[in-house]
Chain A
């Protein structure tokens, strides 16, 4: 069974640009969550999608957005990139949302560098 797949794995952008990251969950998983990992802040929750609807949202500015498609694939977008957006962006999937015990399956992440 294929795991969570994230693309691209690495990318470099400049300040002011925008970026779109993609995540394909494990087959059958309907919930997709996104996390940002930085050395200073650790792993921080961005948002969660279930059945194409955003169910939970973390404390990030509106420049961070996401969506989920009918096949459960998800994308996140960061507009007007800032240097502080440099991070590892992790996607995680799980069977269902709402009554989840928290066991998530993570992808390998997309490493974003903003210059």
Chain B
């Protein structure tokens, strides 16, 4: 049962343009949603999160939008830079589940100069 899904395995964007990564979930009990970024041969690093009581959270070039009715969230990167090229994982968590994150399959973003 895939509770968190990232349906696009890859995305290619031109430098300076917007990158939009999407994520769908099925469990309405999730309290937090997070995005992690992973470079090859490194562990994932936390990027940005959003609580289920909000619909938007912004941090610099990164904005996460949450649509609870559609059980959908997206990560916007504006402007995209070549250093953003990595695999992006969407994850979800319940507040009483601590370090138990449910991850999507990941989307590999390639930002071309």
Total interface residues in chain B, CB < 8 Å: 28
Interface stretch among B17-25, B62-70, B71-79, B100-108?
B100-108
Bound-state CA distance A106–B89 (Å) is 13
Q: Measured between C-beta atoms, what is the minimum distance from B18 to chain A in Å? A: 25
Residue from B46, B51, B105 in contact with A42 in the complex, judged by beta carbons closer than 8 Å? B105
CB within 8 Å of A: which of B41-61?
Answer: 41-46, 49, 51
Contact B100 A45 (CB under 8 A): yes
Interface: B34 (CB within 8 A): yes
Report whether A101 and B44 are in contact in the complex, using a CB–CB cutoff of 8 Å: no
Residues of A contacting B97 in the complex (Cβ-Cβ under 8 angstroms): 56, 100
Task: Compute how far the CA of A31 lies from the CA of B105 in the bound complex, rounded to whole angstroms.
Answer: 24
Pairwise interchain contact A98-B98, C-beta atoms closer than 8 A: yes
Hey, which chain A residues are within 8 Å of B34, CB to CB? Answer: 101-103
Q: How far is the CA of A37 from the CA of B96 in the complex (A)?
A: 23
Q: Which of B34, B95, B96, B99 has most A Cβ within 10 Å?
A: B99
Contacts of A103 in B (CB 8 A): 34, 46, 49
From A4, A98, A101, name the one whose CB has the most chain B CB atoms within 10 angstroms. A101
Number of chain A interface residues as a range: 20 to 34
Give bound CA distance, A52 to B49, whole Å. 28
- Most chain-A Cβ atoms within 10 A of its Cβ — which of B41, B100, B104? B100
Bound-complex Cα distance A35 to B106 (A): 15
By a beta-carbon cutoff of 8 Å, the part of chain A in contact with chain B is 4, 31-33, 35, 42-45, 48, 50, 55-56, 58, 90, 92, 94, 96-109
- Write 6 A-B pairs (CB below 8 A) sorted by A numbering: A43-B101, A56-B97, A56-B98, A56-B100, A101-B32, A104-B46
Apart from A100-B97, A108-B41, what 17 extra A-B contacts exist at CB < 8 Å? A31-B99, A33-B99, A33-B100, A42-B103, A42-B104, A42-B106, A43-B91, A43-B101, A48-B99, A56-B99, A101-B51, A102-B92, A102-B93, A104-B46, A104-B99, A106-B45, A108-B43
